[in-house]
Amino acid sequence: MNISVIGSGSWGIALSIYLAKQGNTIKVWSFDETEKKKINQEKKCIFLPEIDLPDGIFCTNSYEEALENTEIILHVTPSKFVRNTLKGYKNFVKPNQILLMCSKGFEPETNMTLDSVIEEELPHTKYGILSGPSHAEEVAIGIPTALVVASKEKEVKEKVVDVFKSNCIRMYHTSDVKGVELGGALKNIIAFCAGAAVGLGLGDNTFAMLATRGLVEITRLGVAMGGDDKTFYGLTGLGDLIVTCGSQHSRNRKAGELIAKGYSMEETKKQIGMTIESIDNIDAAYHLAQKYQVEMPIVETVYEVLYHGLNPKQAVEILMTRELKAE
């Protein structure tokens, strides 16, 4: 199959590598001329430098060229760039092409989930959401992984499952688009908090508390916004939470660790060198919790750390001394 991948970051390239090894032809779009040359001439990617790209991957800076004669479009940009990128290529999307959103997060200006952005920009395009516990570094080298595709369209779910399934990736499907979107976006916040616990030198007990109570908060907001509560105990909720909170690969966890050690937000971004979705997501989740009148003490406290200078040690004290209640 001919497949377009819009975005040449680590996740976009990891998916390209995987799909190319399955016998597909991949056209990657990148905004960067240097990245295009590196992929086409050196068979390398800046963000996954140890991996040689297989045959079947070609990079272009042209949306039109990237989308021409392809059946599926994988959109893999940071969430804050999704709308502008969609605007850039929507005139080249054909009626028979499926759009698969592989990004996780909210649109910062509106706090909209990415499915809502798609529906505004490409209202007549059939689309799905790809999510689940999946580090780019592991998918790129064939580590066994399970993913889920969410779509209202049966055709989309069947086609995406068929394209992705292998002995390396096990595919699941659901119609709960909103739940899958919210699970994938909100888990980054709890991963940030898990990193902060590491930065403060706290232990496994604290980690388990944050992950468990964090999942409760994710589910509260997710259900209030239209998701199915069962979704948050599956791959895109609990699964993604485990992998993002517990892994050294997680840039969101690393960001929390650096902030807790006293790094500024700008210093943290410079150290990591890639988009940190959790920082934007914390702002969105805080305001969505207020809008939907959902209690989210972890989110509220980490918001104060990031945006109002609350000391992370004081944040722990605030969370530990809240009014006691039944679980």
| Residue 184 CA: distances (Å) to CA of 2, 37, 163, 188 | 27, 32, 21, 7
- Judge whether 103 and 114 are in contact, CB under 8 Å: yes
Q: Where are the beta strands (DSSP E) in the chain?
A: 2-6, 25-29, 57-60, 72-75, 98-101, 106-107, 112-113, 127-131, 145-150, 169-174
How far apart are alpha carbons 42 and 56 in whole angstroms?
A: 14
The amino acid at residue 251 is R
Q: Give 176's Cβ-side CA count (13 Å radius).
A: 23
- Judge whether 7 and 80 are in contact, CB under 8 Å: no
Q: Angle at the Cα of 143 (from 233 to 171), degrees rounded to 5?
A: 45
**CB within 8 Å of 91: residues ≥ 6 apart:** none
Catalytic residue selected from 38, 157, 159, 187: 187
DSSP string, 95-117: TTPEEEE---SEETTTTEEHHHH
Does the active-site annotation cover 36?
no
Active site residues: 187
